[in-house]
Structure 1
Amino acid sequence: MDVEAVVSIVIRKLTDLLIQEPIIFNNAIDEIELVRISLRQMQSFLIEAEDKKEHDEGVKKWVDQFLAVVYEVEDAIETFVLRKMYATRMGYFFIPKNLKADSDLCKKIEGIKDKIKNLDKSKTEMDQGEPLRIRQLTLHRSRSSYQDEGLTLNQQNNDSRYSVDEETDFIGFKKDKGKLVTMLTGSGRESGDYQKLPLISGKSTKEELTQKIHMILKEKRYLVVLDDLQTPDVWKKLLDAFPDTKNGSRVMLTTSNYRVALRADTRGEPHQLNPLNDVDTWELFLKKVRLPDNFQFSESDMFKLKRKIKRRCKGLPLAITVLGGLLSTKEVSYEVWLKVIEHPSWQLDSKQVQFSNVLALSYNDLPFHLRPCFLYLRLFPKDYDIPVRRLLRLWLAEGFVKQTSGMTPEDTVEIYLEELVKRSMIQISKRRKDGSPKTCRMLGVLHNDSNFLSKAQEIGLFHIYQLPEMGTPKHRVRRFADYVDTKEYPLRIQHLRSYLSFYIQKNDMPATEIDSFLSQVIGQGFGLLRVLDLERVYKPKLPNNMGKLFLLLRYLGLRWTFLDSLPDSVGELPYLETLDVKHTYISSLPSSIWKMKHLRHLCLNEIRLDMHSQKHGSSLTHLQTLWGLFVDNKTPVKDGLYRLINLRKLGLTCHLDAFQELDEWIARLASLQSLKIRSKNQNGQPWKLNLKPLSSLENLTHLYLLGSLPELHDRYEFPPKLTVLTLSVSKLEKDPMPILAQLPSLSVLRLLADSYTGKEMECPPGGFSMLRILKLWMLKDLEIWKVGEEALPILRELEIRCCDKLQELPDKLLSLRNIKEIVLTNMPQKFVDNVQAIKLEKKLIFPKTLQF
């Protein structure tokens, strides 16, 4: 099914081209349609052939030949379309050279058709021999694979699609935890209050890093954890960083290599984590499989399942997690689960856990359209935190996502991610305060599994430069990633579809080699590149002939590159879907941006768009994200921004004397989900923000407002589904808490600098029923804070920063049942001492963190 996924992507791209540009193909359109139909007809055989190729060299050769033909079709047609489009744009559509292009394509198509006939003949001969049988799981799905039922971890909030449960993965290690605490502290008690150390820039040299760490830790009692140490050499190089203070400081290493642990400290025996016992195995499994609350197996079936899961996973947490994620997608039935657990692909070994069996079973159960999405993560370096925003837009640009009726591509691709997370094939590494995923990664054990890299290489999905395991590509390189300098790249790259660079230069040296590499990609003709992702590559030099990527380029990612400008030819990319220049020094975009009729995500760095020369009334109507826009009195709102009606995310900085037109435009954005508005004056200082109530935006869940606001009078001034609210420099004189407390879905509230200028603040009784996170920053006049009975019932995190006049923390906050973390930052010592005194007086045992 891996090859079938690739074939489906190519056929889908070809179908889109035939629909979007039928006139380009002229006399060749019938021939191309025949090829497309032939490829689709052979897919049914392909499913069986792929399954059998593991055991039959002849079938394996046939599959490889078929894939090569598919790639040849893609290259021939896309190259032809590029040439025809360029000729059309230059006004040369009917010149003889262009007729020759038609003739050349027809000849190539004839050759391809002959190859397909030969493949079809080979298929018939194989059919006449031993019949191919589909060896696959026949499993029912009573629960849809694409339900919003809370993914790998728990549910924090009824409105949150993604959820978090900090307790989920910490199962079965209570004794280990106690022993480690004893080893680290000399007693069975846990450490008391702690202070986080400042982060250190990753741009430092090793010597500078060692010296900085040493200076920070000097004369302090510290605990340093070095996670996943693979070689003792790393430990030896870091020894000088940790001062020997003789004050009980500790350094803890974690490693999966016993010899590394022994060599790191020859004086003692390393502590080994044992497999989970039967009870803990079952508890972790149930958390991952997420049984319905009202479902129970019979006692007999439960006993058999426990025994079989124990036998398969042998107490290994990762194996239990992946198996639970797999079974979470199946019908909750003893018979169905048994088919998975007893699948013949398992190879039992009584002496060791065959974890690769669990991974292979979970991968083989993936729907074919999710397989390229999963394998694509292997392009990224190990332990690399991938921004979810970046990954989803890359999947879209690569053509991995099938169009779903009644849904936008953005909705569909989010479902893809949910499914992979639910199956524990992707790990969410960082979440936003509202529980939504911010970054993700491929689990280290999956990244290390050579089988997945082999699968990607076998189908020509991608190539990673100077990665020894990859070897020589079997097919032409189509997707390429580098972790080092690419100047000496030896392979042909004219047919490259995607280029992702993770080469972060030292000492802020501009990446000038990018220019020569991309010039090779474009070559003498036209580039076939769909994705150019240079995020965090410092000042990459882009070629001036970027316009030769005009037909296929879908994604241009330049975030955090600190570029000063873009080539003018960037404006000649009408099919671009994502343009990201956030965190750069780019101050303007060409007016031809309005010709990008397919643009869906535009991320800027406080740029004013040139709209006066804009005559394309239907342009940018597909735009979903517009972030980093600068709006002032020169910006035409009614004659410009009014045309952008499908926005879901809008972030802008404005300098306006009147907000009426802006209000009217925003009120029309019925699909808007996230809104950030910062009002500033000509000196860049916060300014008035006289917006009208936003209650008409029924889909808005995230709202950030910077600038002075009128007084709040009613909760209905806010959108009904608001879950995250941030106010900054609002200069509200009247206590906003009684009104904000009534918002039924509010989960995160941030009152930042000067958002409230009064002396007293009260959370009314029973208020803030859904609030989990509260931040109070730089409320310089606040003296008294009261919390009523049964207010803030599920508050989990509280941070108070630089509220210098606040006299005390309300007693009720320290005794709230659900609170996990209280952070006091730059607060007066008297205030901190008072909190400590209340804690001691009431004998409060903190299962929570109290930071000062």
Structure 2
Amino acid sequence: MAEAVVSFVVERLGDLLIQKAVFLKGVRSQVERLLEELKRMQCFLKDADARQEEDERVRNWVSEIRNTAYDAEDIVDIFIRNAETKHSIFKKWMDLNKIGKEIEAIQIRIQDISKSRVTYGITNIGEATNSANDQGIVGFQNDTNLLVERLLRKDQRRTVVSIVGMGGIGKTTLAKKVYNDRRVVDHFQYCRAWVYVSLDCKPRDIFQRIINQISLSSECEAERTEKLQEDELRDFLHDFLKEKRYLVVLDDLWKSEDWKYVANAFPRESNGSRLLLTTRNKDVALHADPLSVPHTIQLLSANESWRLFCRTAFPGDDPESCPLELRELGEKMVGKCAGLPLAIVVLGGLLSRKKKSPTDWAKVLNNIGVHLSGGKDGVDAMLNLSFIDLPPYLKSCFLYFSLFPDDHVISVRKICRLWVAEGFIPQQDGRRMEDMAEDYLNELIDRNLVQMVRMSTNERVRECRIHDLARDFSIKKAKEESFAEIQQSIASVHSTSSSTNSRRHGIFSDFERYASNKHSTPHLRSLLFFKLDDKSCQVSQLDFVYKCFKLLRVIDLDGVEIGRMTSSFGKLIHLRYLGLSHTGLETLPTSIGNLTSLQTLDVRCVKNVPNVIWKMENLRHLLVDGRTDDMPLQIDTLRNLQTLSGIRFNEWGDNDLSKLTTLQKLKIRGKFELEWVKFSDSIAKLENLQSLSLVIQSLPSNRFTSEEQSPFLAMNSWLHLYKMVMNGPIVQLPAAHEFPPSLTQLTLQGSGLGRDPMPILGNLPKLSTLRLRTGSYHGTAMQVSSFGFLQLKKLQISDLDRLKWIYVEKGGMPRLAQFQVIEVDCSIYGLNHLSHLHEVDVSINASSRFPLIDGLEVFPGLPNWARSLMSSSDWHHTWRHTGENKGVIHFYRK
């Protein structure tokens, strides 16, 4: 990690010499010498991170280097802050003199550290250098069958079935396999839920998540349940489950006390209901149900371990494709994993990035022995080895996950922007830093250190998370390296073990008390708040931020209620990421215009935004949705802007748009038809624009009818646009050739179309995703021609209350894979022509209880086309409630 820190500081000092040359002019030569000293130190650090695990002398030496690099960065950052905020020439001269002396002191420290390498006998460092996904499940078939049989027994007593085993052994993987087994799905299809519990058990959150999956009523009912107290929510859930046969999975239950808190939510009716627990503690399982014998999960056999290893070390290849010259080395390494699936997967991810040579594999084998001899268990040893193997640029990115709560689903877009703001992503000609950040994330996923949660239709990762054992490791390592610390309660805030050198804080609770605490971390670079529940989710004022943390680069308060924001925020000149969305903040101070280093400004739902954004020339992402003020914003100075969301049409026209050459994503609202030609021309000039969302305000009454030409023409000049959302009345679609030629994703909502849109949209040559939502079409019929939608893969039709039937001619939509029909009561003909279709969702009115006839549930109002899928042996289905007397059936092909 020291190599990563020094590399980061070297790059940052180099950037500062260019960007802040005017301030560093008087000490430029000294900073350059410091830079050279740090670069020389780098060559000795390539091995040091690995060797510090086995040699305390190396560990202390590396720690000194890391701390010195941090101090060097602090000195320069403090000087620049003072230079930019002080106007007295005398004070600036004094600061210049001071920084010169401090840099000389740092250089002496580095030279002493370099000499101590020989003094301490550290002589071999630098002489040699080393250059999550849902894996195919191996094993567990016997375990799966045993558990399925226990869940489906005719015993009507409410039973708790527990899976017990150590961390990383595959409890969650086995539970998922059981939960998704067709026999279990069919038996409990009307009432199933899965919740992660984790060490920090929050009963109210657990109850709410179960309700969200099985019983959410109307939107009003959803809002009502969110306002209930914990005991009221528990009673609500209990009453809903009382007359149902349910299956609820409580994954990763740690303590018997946690079971006590949640147990009363689950009725004891004798109707065959089941709870499935995963836990590391056998006592928890016995406490939950003394009459149910816990299922202790066994380690993988040697054969199963080898198969899993091959699947991860040689992804995409034949599982038995390991070269003969590597097999013996591979088997030895797999043997050291002792049958632990997580350890094997991490090892496989590590070796998948290595050369397939005996020399490289032998080095990994030797290193495994070092870590295991240090007392680490298999998973921890593999995680440590994989971390050491990470290139410097990935180590900081991985440790950043330590700041996020347990089981937190993380937006890829957000974490990439945070990495960029932190300075983890280098600037390279011709590449967006955000694209490079995505590449970094994908590499961490390939190494099985991060797990993919959700992908977009164009197969880009959109959400991710980290396994709890990998998170535990990252938290420990981040604290050791003074990289970051999390504070889950006020007790941890006051903990004497809290490092005064920590560079980042993740705060999960007691926000108000954290704000009022006396902080001893003046060099903090990032402050992230996470709203996990409704308790202590407010900060009355933010004055403490500038008083305590003058060097901040990142502050994110998304969802935390803020009383006020003072002008002192404008003095945080190093700030690059400011997240204030959904904070209840009414007005931003004009001083934020001084944040000229800012890259991301997320102020969604802040009502009043002053016209000072134009000063932020480094801004890359501006989110101002939800403004209610009349203040027009000047934005044409933002030549690095990539994302602009929430701008108004009148503001757009008042700016010189030819300067926004880097803009890629735009969301804009207004009455476009009044000056459509001018607007269309402005969009055509944005050669990098890929995504456009139009929030169309109401057309003048009787201005257009369904017989007249659409005002939204000449979009065919938008050559690079591939994604478009049109939300609002357009009445008539333009001809197919008027649409952007590269369009792959289109969403229409509130369009008010009177004519069937399919003949026009079916001729869009590259369209792969189409969503027709509420109010987009008022007709009764849709027809897809035999040559329509040749590239379409996903079709969503929702809330079209007049639609009665859809007909798909043979040959139409030949690549359709996903079809969603939500809140639409219509007949569909021609589904049998769609050979690539493998997922269908249909909403249905249904009673909360279903009569049983020969073991088949009767769905009131189920359309014939859905009944045919249900009766087909090619299709399976699951069911979930989405509202009072409403639900969704999910059909899928295996």
Summarize the alignment of residues 491-502 of structure 1 with structure 2, pairs less than 5 Å apart: 491-502=519-530
Equivalent in 670, 675, 678 of residue 687 of structure 2: 670
Against the structure 1 CA distance between its residues 453 and 27, is the aligned structure 2 distance closer, same or farther, given a 3 Å change threshold?
same
List aligned pairs for 1:398-409, cutoff 5 A: 398-409=422-433
What pairs up with 1:202-351 in 2 under 5 angstroms? 204-277=228-301, 280-291=304-315, 297=321, 300=324, 304=328, 307-308=331-332, 310-332=334-356, 336-337=360-361, 339-341=363-365, 343-345=367-369
Match of 2:611 in 1: 591
* Structure 1 pair 460–173 and aligned structure 2 pair: CA distance change class (3 A): same
Matched residue, 1:820: 839
Say whether the 8 Å CA contact 1:686–1:729 is kept in structure 2: no
CA gap of 1:681–1:769, structure 2 versus 1, over 3 A, is: closer
Aligned to 2:115: 121
Give the Å deviation of 1:395.
0.8
Give the conservation status (yes or no) of the 8 Å contact 2:730–2:753.
yes
Distance in 2, Cα, partners of 1:78 & 1:121: 28
1:541 & 1:611 partners in 2: Cα distance?
20
Alpha-carbon offset, residue 468 of structure 1: 9.1
1:655 pairs with one of 671, 682, 689: 671
Question: Is 1:575 aligned to residue 604 of structure 2?
Answer: no
Return the match for 1:847 from 876, 887, 891. 876
Work out which of the residue numbers 528, 534, 545 in structure 2 matches 1:518: 545
State the distance in 1 between where 2:264 and 2:700 align.
47
For 2:618, the aligned partner's letter is H
Provide the residue aligned with 1:149 in structure 2.
none
Matched with 2:808 is 787
Query: Under a length normalisation based on structure 2, what TM-score does the superposition of the two structures give?
Result: 0.81
Residue 655 (structure 2) pairs with residue 639 (structure 1) = yes
> Residue type of the partner of 1:680?
Q
Amino acid at match of 1:456: A
- SS, match of residue 249 in structure 2: strand
Question: What is the Cα deviation at residue 637 of structure 1?
Answer: 1.4
Match of 2:450 among 426, 445, 449: 426
2:124 maps to which residue?
132
TM-score (norm 1): 0.85
1:382 paired to 2:406: yes
- Structure 1's 647 and 177: CA in aligned 2 closer, same or farther, altered over 3 A? same
Q: CA deviation at 1:579?
A: 0.3
Shift of 1:222: 1.9
Structure 2: how far apart are the matches of 1:41 and 1:179?
A: 61
Q: How does 1:329-728 map to 2 (within 5 A)?
A: 329-332=353-356, 336-337=360-361, 339-341=363-365, 343-345=367-369, 354-449=378-473, 452-465=474-487, 466-467=491-492, 472-473=497-498, 476-485=501-510, 486-487=514-515, 489-502=517-530, 506=534, 510-512=538-540, 515-521=542-548, 527-539=550-562, 541-549=564-572, 551-582=573-604, 584=605, 586-607=606-627, 614=634, 619-632=637-650, 635=651, 637=653, 639-656=655-672, 657-681=674-698, 690-709=711-730, 711-712=732-733, 715-728=736-749
CA contact (8 A) 2:74 2:523 kept: yes
1:24-69 CA-partner distances (Å, limit 9, x unpaired): 1232222222222222222212334444434444443333233232
Residues 722 and 467 (structure 1), Cα distance of their counterparts in 2 relative to 1, 3 Å cut: farther
Is the Cα contact below 8 Å between 1:607 and 1:630 reproduced in 2? Answer: no
Pairwise CA RMSD: 3.6
Counterpart-to-counterpart distance in 2, 1:581 and 1:666 = 25
Q: Pick from 839, 864, 867: which aligns with 1:834? A: 864
Q: CA deviation at 1:739?
A: 4.2
Residues 53-92 of structure 1 mapped to structure 2, 5 A cutoff: 53-88=52-87, 92=88
TM-superposed deviation, 1:81: 1.3
With over 3 angstroms needed to count, the CA separation of the structure-2 counterparts of 1:675 and 1:463, relative to structure 1, is: same
Asked if 2 retains the 8 angstrom alpha-carbon contact of 1:608 and 1:630, the reply is no
CA contact (8 A) 1:687 1:708 kept: no
User: 5+ residue gaps in structure 2?
Assistant: 155-181, 192-212, 217-221, 848-858, 880-887, 890-894
Instruction: Give, as a single letter, the amino acid of the residue that structure 2 aligns with 1:832.
Output: L
The alpha carbon displacement at 1:508 in A equals 7.7
Deviation at 1:461, TM superposition (A): 0.9
Matched with 2:148 is 181
Q: What is the alpha-carbon distance in structure 2 between the residues aligned to residue 233 and residue 209 of structure 1?
A: 19
CA contact (8 A) 2:531 2:537 kept: no
Whole-Å separation in 2 of the counterparts to 1:182 and 1:683: 64
Q: Are 2:596 and 2:616, in contact at CA under 8 Å, matched by a contact in 1?
A: yes
Change (3 A) 1:787 1:180: farther
Task: Return the alpha-carbon distance in structure 2 between the equivalents of residues 703 and 609 of structure 1.
Answer: 27
Q: Deviations over 1:637-681 (max 9, x none)?
A: 163444322111111222342222221111122212222111023
Q: Indicate the structure whose relative CO is greater, using CA pairs within 8 Å and at least 6 residues apart.
A: 2
Counterpart residue identity of residue 26, structure 1? K
For residues 714 and 653 of structure 1, the distance between their equivalents in structure 2, rounded to whole angstroms, comes to 23
User: What's the CA shift for 1:254?
Assistant: 1.8
1:624 offset after TM fit, Å? 0.5
In the TM superposition, what whole-angstrom CA distance separates every residue of 1:712-748 from its partner, at most 9, and x where no partner exists? 5654444444333211122334433344345454333
1:48–1:132 contact (8 Å) kept in structure 2? no
Q: Distance in 1 between matches of 2:45 and 2:701?
A: 61
Q: What's the offset of the Cα at 1:843?
A: 4.0
- How far is 1:229 from its partner? 0.8
Partner Cα distance (1:293, 1:13) in 2? 41
Q: Provide the aligned length of Structure 1 versus Structure 2.
A: 801
**Residue number in structure 1 paired with 2:882:** none
Q: For residues 491-544 of structure 1, give each alpha carbon's deviation from its aligned partner in whole angstroms, at most 9, with x where no partner exists.
A: 4232221111225573686322x525314325xxxx111111111212254333
What is the 5 A alignment of 1:27-42?
Answer: 27-42=26-41
Q: Is the 8 A contact 1:765 1:788 kept in 2?
A: yes
Deviations 1:90-134 (A, max 9, x none): xx4x3x2322222222232233333233233324545xx462245
Aligned with 1:47: secondary structure? coil
Cα distance in 1 between the residues matched to 2:622 and 2:680: 21
Cα distance, 1:301 vs. partner? Answer: 5.4
Displacement, 1:554?
A: 0.5
Deviates more, 1:459-468 or 1:710-719: 710-719
Q: Encode CA deviations 1:132-156: one digit per residue, 9 max, x unaligned.
A: 24597746xxxxxxxxxxxx55xxx
Per the alignment, in what secondary structure is the counterpart of residue 545 of structure 1?
A: helix
**Aligned counterparts of 2:51 and 2:872: Cα–Cα separation in 1:** 68
Asked if 1 retains the 8 angstrom alpha-carbon contact of 2:568 and 2:591, the reply is: yes
Given residue 71 of structure 1, which amino acid in structure 2 is its aligned partner?
Y
Matched residues in 1 for 2:76 and 2:371: separation? 45
- Distance in 1, matches of 2:578 and 2:367, equals 44
Deviations 1:345-404 (A, max 9, x none): 36679x997222221222121111100110111111211222222211111111111222
What does residue 794 of structure 2 align with?
773
Aligned to 1:803: 824
Label 1:494 to 1:292 Cα distance change in 2 as closer, same or farther (>3 A). closer
Give the structure 1 partner of residue 752 of structure 2. Answer: 731
Counterpart CA distance in 2 for 1:74 and 1:301 is 47
Deviations along 1:457-498, whole A, 9 cap, x unmatched? 232212333549986355523222222321464442322211
Q: Distance in 2 between matches of 1:115 and 1:687?
A: 76
Cα distance in 1 for residues equivalent to 2:370 and 2:834: 51
Contact preservation (8 Å) 2:537, 2:560: no
Distance 1:110 1:276, change over 3 A: closer
Secondary structure at the residue paired with 1:46? Answer: coil
Question: How far has the Cα of 1:338 moved from its partner?
Answer: 5.7
Q: 1:302 to 1:792 in 2, by over 3 A?
A: farther
1:158 aligned residue: none
1:401 aligned counterpart, secondary structure = coil
**Structure 1 residues 831 and 773 mapped into 2: Cα distance closer, same or farther (>3 Å)?**
farther
Residue correspondence of structure 1 range 21-32 to structure 2 within 5 A: 21-32=20-31
Q: Is the 8 A contact 1:820 1:848 kept in 2?
A: no
Farther-moved stretch of structure 1 (110-119 vs 436-445): 110-119
- Structure 1 residue 684, shift from structure 2 partner: 14
Deviates more, 1:183-192 or 1:769-778: 183-192
